[in-house]
Chain A
Amino acid sequence: MSLVKLSLQELQRLFTCGEISAFEIARAYLLRINQVEPKIKAYITLTPKDQLLAQAEALDRSLKAWRKTEPMMAMPLAIKDNICTEGVRTTCGSIMLEHFVPPYDAAVVEPLRQQRFFLLGKTNLDEFAMGSSSEHSAFGPTKNPWKLTHSPGGSSGGSAAAVAADECVAALGSDTGGSIRLPAAACGVVGLKPTYGRVSRYGLVAFASSLDQIGPITKTVTDAAILLNVLAKHDPRDSTSATVPVPDFTKSTKRKDLKKLKVGIPQEFFTDGLDTEVERTVREAIAELERLGAQLCDISLPMTEHAIAAYYLIATAEASSNLARYDGVKYGFRSKETRDLLDMYCQTRAQGFGPEVKRRIMLGTYALSAGYYEAYYGKAQAVRTLIRQDFDAAFQEVDLIATPVMPTPAFPLGEKLKDPLQMYLLDMYTIPASLAGLPAIAVPCGFSSAGLPIGLQIMGRPFEEPLVLRAASAYEQATNWRKKRPVIR
């Protein structure tokens, strides 16, 4: 079996006991990337081959005397290109930051560096994480490893595709309204959006600050738990970072049953927009949860229908402010030969941002404008509170909530580009957990007749990632979906 097919857990074990060297890992992944990357286009920036091999050799040499390893040592990861990496350009998929090299590491990158992981490269995304298909990237779309004519979902499409195509063992993504879970489902891998505040946002280029959260995209649920162990930590540099205890998340993935757990099935998540194949597949998965010992329970989250509207006001309002700093003054792109200051601002932003980013900046600016604030931003915040209350009430009755991730399987590239609203509707099942700040995981649960993966979403109470991981892991081990891998051609 090829090295690149291994899970993070398996690779860790082989490396820790010295069966494989760092050099072998690096070489295997470089080879794999060399083979499939031209077809997938998961990466915006790849770490140069020589640099990676030199790093691996140095690591092996230093281990020769006394083999003391760290969990992430020599683990070949990919990082979404909106997470700052010192000395490695961080573009956010935008012309605006095409040549931007951060002078610092994001909080999540620090422990990885300390443990001497391998950064294989920075992965593609919708510009500034705004999109659900990875097509809104200034550097071209990423392809779905299961079907190259199809989108890998977005916005963390590069990370999900890289994991699915064995171009890395695991990856970091970011999720604002579904940007980890959607591409994970579309690419047949695991994606976990942690509770808002569980992982530091320091160094994550902000899209919508009250929603953004970094999380793992992995081959297995256990891998997600392993990575979350590294990511989850209180960070005084992020005022919204939570000061809750951090358990060992891998412990939760060892149970194989769901006994004594109540799983809610919200009727609002199985309505008109849902593709019949997806519905059937997800309902089968839910039945499997019952077979594993869970007690199913029909619930209602009545505010769900307003979630998309509220989200696209709040997220765009925050984005309009967060993206104001890209003005050509301090770093990043600046339009040349402009007449005066105003012209410099206008040209820089007209040329530096793509159409979707501009659309959202305009939406958000409008939502915050004098005279409209209450009707749009104010109302959206009120809806957000109601959605949170819906979940609070539901979680009085149940321990977890199971739903589809995406209303359809992966769709052909270009299909939804013409109609932004169709693209926005793809987030309908992932947005509620984002607005409520809940942990939610996407785990593969089957395939469409066209052979495209379908995902199951499991949501939990705030900071109950252990329970979410336990359910996802038990389901994963009871099914064989993970064993089916894409053949890239």
Chain B
Amino acid sequence: MTYEAVIGVEVHAQLRTATKLFCGCTTTFGLAPNTQCCPVCIGMPGSLPVLNKRAVELAIRAGLALNCTIRLSNRFARKNYFYPDLPKGYQISQYEAPICESGSLDITTNGHAKTVRIRRAHLEEDAGKNLHEGDAATSRVDFNRAGTPLLEIVTEPDLSSPEEVDAYLRALRDILKYLDACDGNMEQGSFRCEPNISVRPAGSSDLGTKVELKNINSFRFVKQALAYEIARQTKVLASGGVIHQETRLWDPEREVTVVMRSKEEAHDYRYFPDPDLLPVEISQEWIQELRQSLPELPAARAKRFVHDYRLPEYDASVLTASKDLADYFEACVRLFPNPKIVSNWVMGELLRELNARGIPAQRSPVSPECLAKLLQLVDEGTISLKIAREIFPELYASGKDPETLVHEKGLTQISDAQVLEQLVEEVMRQHPAQVDQYRRGKEAVLGFFVGQVMKASGGKANPGKVNELLRRKLASDTPSGS
């Protein structure tokens, strides 16, 4: 019997607000422990939450981008449980009435398109972080993260392979980044993924018992953990065993999933409406306003790139994965209207430098204007393509104007016929044997001459012109000294 996997995904996306969901503390990542806390986010007696409007706005934007229905009257609920990183003994979340519902996201895997239904997306506050380091007898808690706004996005169980989950997560992350709603960093925990997975006989319409996976903090682990879990569950079922409803942790060292807690240990969270917060009413006008302000989203933009710029789909998807990069590309194309050449440079030279340093295109030291000028210099024949490639890292490092750099380094291409003729003649003089070879019909020697001329010119000779000149000279001139 063959088996198929049924997968649903919960994503916790940290919303990019300046301050926390219910207080004015900063959400900056990586500050010293407990330095971005106040009586509210630390759960001091008598403190009260006040909702951050910007977080609601980002949630609505995300909901609209995911084709969700936006709920007009929202209530926050308390999710009650004890844990040291949860300062109030409850998390403020949304339960019965999430702000976004019934959406969808289109993905493509190996050329196969699929629509993933989004069940809901709701706002909630993050917890702090327990630290177990140093003295083994004590643990500490860092509340810096406590109260950070999260959007929990839950799909229907519409995914059926690790590749589909990967495609869904990447598409979702790209959208959230486009909206500036989340920075999508899995490693830093600003984009966390918890898949639910079950396996059933292929073609069956019944759902198997699901297992929830946690501790997956990279795209690679998502695929690994799911592949492992599908294999594990299939093996259990194939051998006549049963799957237990449980939460399992991905262990990246051993590359296995291990039981964290079983269903019997599941909490009764005793959800109830938070009496400290009034219902949040969202007006149709506000939703409309936000809908109109949505940027063009990655999928639509990729489609447009293929259509308008005649780019291959691959190029279009790479360029539109981040808004920054797509903006960069378009700015550059406006100045140097050869999309494929720009695409090659952006995807090649530029991304190599940016990715090596983890810098977004927006902050690239080589501006779109600068890259366009460089390409212009090649196009005009002022410098060779080779030189352009060679000086790009320096251009990136110095942030200089390409023209200035080319002049400073004396790299301007030599196209002057007289100068080139001298160079060619000199090279021919130095290599009479090869000249003879050529004249006896061994035309492949031409490449050798081109290389020698380029070398003699310090790489600056215009290779097209050198080629032309060599052919002419080698064909017509009598051998020197004969």
Co-complex (A, B) = yes
Tell me whether B481 is interfacial, beta carbon within 8 Å. Answer: no
Tell me whether B206 is interfacial, beta carbon within 8 Å. Answer: no
Tell me whether A119 is interfacial, beta carbon within 8 Å. Answer: no
Q: Is the pair B50, A321 in contact by a Cβ cutoff of 8 Å? A: no
Tell me whether B98 is interfacial, beta carbon within 8 Å. Answer: no
Q: Which of B36-44, B254-262, B440-448 contacts A (4 or more CB under 8 A)?
A: B36-44
| Bound Cα distance A377, B271 (Å) | 11
Query: How far is the CB of B265 from the nearest CB of chain A, in Å?
Result: 12
Q: How many residues of B contact A (CB 8 A)?
A: 28
Query: Which A residues lie within 8 Å of B88 (CB)?
Result: 324-325
| Bound Cα distance A201, B46 (Å) | 7
Query: Which A residues lie within 8 Å of B201 (CB)?
Result: none
Please, could you name 19 A-B residue pairs with CB atoms under 8 Å apart, sorted by A?
A102-B39, A104-B39, A106-B46, A202-B46, A203-B46, A203-B47, A208-B275, A209-B275, A236-B50, A238-B48, A239-B51, A239-B276, A240-B275, A317-B272, A321-B90, A321-B270, A329-B87, A368-B80, A369-B270
Given contacts A208-B275, A236-B50, A368-B272, 5 further A-B contacts (CB under 8 A): A90-B46, A102-B44, A239-B48, A240-B276, A370-B270
Query: How far is the CB of B88 from the nearest CB of chain A, in Å?
Result: 5
Q: Is the pair B42, A330 in contact by a Cβ cutoff of 8 Å? A: yes
Q: Is the pair A321, B48 in contact by a Cβ cutoff of 8 Å? A: no
Point out residues on B near A: beta carbons under 8 Å: 39, 42-51, 78, 80, 82, 84, 87-90, 141, 268, 270-272, 275-278
Residue from A205, A326, A341 in contact with B46 in the complex, judged by beta carbons closer than 8 Å: A205
Residue from B46, B48, B50, B90 in contact with A324 in the complex, judged by beta carbons closer than 8 Å: B90
Q: Is the pair A318, B87 in contact by a Cβ cutoff of 8 Å? A: no
Query: Which A residues lie within 8 Å of B141 (CB)?
Result: 329-330
Q: Is the pair A325, B275 in contact by a Cβ cutoff of 8 Å? A: no
Query: How far is the CB of B301 from the nearest CB of chain A, in Å?
Result: 39
Residue from B45, B49, B50, B270 in contact with A325 in the complex, judged by beta carbons closer than 8 Å: B45
Query: Which B residues lie within 8 Å of A427 (CB)?
Result: none
| Bound Cα distance A239, B49 (Å) | 7
Query: Which A residues lie within 8 Å of B43 (CB)?
Result: 325, 330
| Bound Cα distance A348, B47 (Å) | 22
| Bound Cα distance A206, B87 (Å) | 15
Q: Is the pair B45, A205 in contact by a Cβ cutoff of 8 Å? A: yes
Q: Is the pair B275, A210 in contact by a Cβ cutoff of 8 Å? A: yes
Query: Which A residues lie within 8 Å of B277 (CB)?
Result: 239
Residue from A102, A325, A373 in contact with B272 in the complex, judged by beta carbons closer than 8 Å: A373
- If the complex has contacts A84-B46, A327-B89, are A370 and B39 also in contact, measured as CB distance less than 8 A? no
| Bound Cα distance A320, B90 (Å) | 10
Query: How far is the CB of B324 from the nearest CB of chain A, in Å?
Result: 36
| Bound Cα distance A215, B10 (Å) | 46
- If the complex has contacts A317-B272, A321-B272, are A102 and B84 also in contact, measured as CB distance less than 8 A? no
Residue from B78, B270, B278 in contact with A240 in the complex, judged by beta carbons closer than 8 Å: B278
Q: How many residues of A contact B (CB 8 A)?
A: 44
| Bound Cα distance A327, B85 (Å) | 11
Residue from A103, A327, A369 in contact with B39 in the complex, judged by beta carbons closer than 8 Å: A103
Map CB proximity to B onto A203-241 as digits: 1 under 8 Å, 0 otherwise. 111101110000000000000000000000000111110
Query: Which B residues lie within 8 Å of A324 (CB)?
Result: 80, 82, 88-90
Q: Is the pair A237, B275 in contact by a Cβ cutoff of 8 Å? A: no
Query: Which B residues lie within 8 Å of A238 (CB)?
Result: 48, 50
- Residue from B84, B88, B272 whose CB has the most chain A CB atoms within 10 Å: B272
Q: Is the pair A365, B270 in contact by a Cβ cutoff of 8 Å? A: yes
Query: Which B residues lie within 8 Å of A206 (CB)?
Result: 45-46, 276
Query: How far is the CB of A49 from the nearest CB of chain B, in Å?
Result: 28
Q: Is the pair B48, A102 in contact by a Cβ cutoff of 8 Å? A: no
Query: How far is the CB of B298 from the nearest CB of chain A, in Å?
Result: 37
Q: Is the pair B84, A329 in contact by a Cβ cutoff of 8 Å? A: yes
Tell me whether A97 is interfacial, beta carbon within 8 Å. Answer: yes
Residue from A102, A237, A240, A365 in contact with B45 in the complex, judged by beta carbons closer than 8 Å: A102
- If the complex has contacts A239-B276, A329-B141, are A201 and B48 also in contact, measured as CB distance less than 8 A? yes
Tell me whether A395 is interfacial, beta carbon within 8 Å. Answer: no
- If the complex has contacts A325-B87, A325-B88, are A331 and B44 also in contact, measured as CB distance less than 8 A? yes
| Bound Cα distance A317, B42 (Å) | 22
Q: Is the pair A341, B84 in contact by a Cβ cutoff of 8 Å? A: yes
- If the complex has contacts A325-B89, A327-B89, are A102 and B82 also in contact, measured as CB distance less than 8 A? no
Q: Is the pair B270, A368 in contact by a Cβ cutoff of 8 Å? A: yes
Map CB proximity to B onto A313-347 as digits: 1 under 8 Å, 0 otherwise. 00001101101111101110000000001000100
| Bound Cα distance A202, B47 (Å) | 6
| Bound Cα distance A239, B278 (Å) | 6
Query: Which A residues lie within 8 Å of B80 (CB)?
Result: 320-321, 324, 368
Q: Which residue of B lies closest to A377 (CB)?
A: B272
Query: Which B residues lie within 8 Å of A341 (CB)?
Result: 84
| Bound Cα distance A114, B272 (Å) | 38
Q: Is the pair B49, A327 in contact by a Cβ cutoff of 8 Å? A: no
Q: Which residue of B lies closest to A318 (CB)?
A: B275
Q: Which residue of A lies closest to B277 (CB)?
A: A239
Query: How far is the CB of A90 from the nearest CB of chain B, in Å?
Result: 7
